[in-house]
């Protein structure tokens, strides 16, 4: 399984829709339909099978995420704004960090 970081340097023109068998580490806050050129965050993201979204400080807002047995691993904090739509199938695992960052 490969590992891709979604941060301010991610090239959205390549996108994540063609990726499978991958963990996507979400490290920034992304707003759908914003930005220009390679920084343009799409309004809809379609995930292929065997994709894991690993939230490491980032979030999504104003976006539709279409899952295909997509796994979400996230700390016990807000990762989606109220204007996010989830369609398809998702499985979620929450983890709670203790005071030692574990």
| For residues 69-98, average pLDDT | 89
- Are the C-beta atoms of residues 48 and 66 closer than 8 Å to each other? no
What distance in Å separates the CA atoms of residue 68 and residue 62, rounded to the nearest whole number?
A: 20
Provide the pLDDT confidence category of residue 22 given band limits of 50, 70 and 90: very high
- Are the C-beta atoms of residues 4 and 25 closer than 8 Å to each other? yes
In this structure, the strands spanning 2-6 and 29-31 are unpaired
* pTM as predicted: 0.86
Q: Would you state the pLDDT for residue 99?
A: 53
* Digit-coded pLDDT (tens) for 43-63: 999 888 889 999 999 999 999
Whether 101 shows a pLDDT value over 60: the answer reads no
What distance in Å separates the CA atoms of residue 40 and residue 55, rounded to the nearest whole number?
A: 20
Collect all residues with Cβ–Cβ distance below 8 Å to 30 and sequence separation of at least 6: 6, 41, 58, 59, 60, 61, 63
């Amino acid at each position: 399984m490969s590992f891709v970081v979604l941060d301010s340097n991610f090239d959205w023109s390549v996108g994540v829709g063609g990726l499978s068998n991958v963990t996507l580490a979400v490290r920034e806050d992304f707003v759908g339909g914003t930005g220009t050129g390679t920084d343009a965050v799409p309004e809809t993201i379609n995930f292929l099978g065997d994709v894991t979204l690993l939230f490491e400080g980032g979030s999504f807002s104003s976006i539709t995420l279409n899952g295909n047995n997509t796994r979400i691993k996230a700390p016990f904090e807000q990762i989606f704004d109220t204007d996010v739509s989830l369609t398809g199938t998702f499985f979620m695992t929450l983890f709670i960090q203790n005071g030692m960052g574990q």
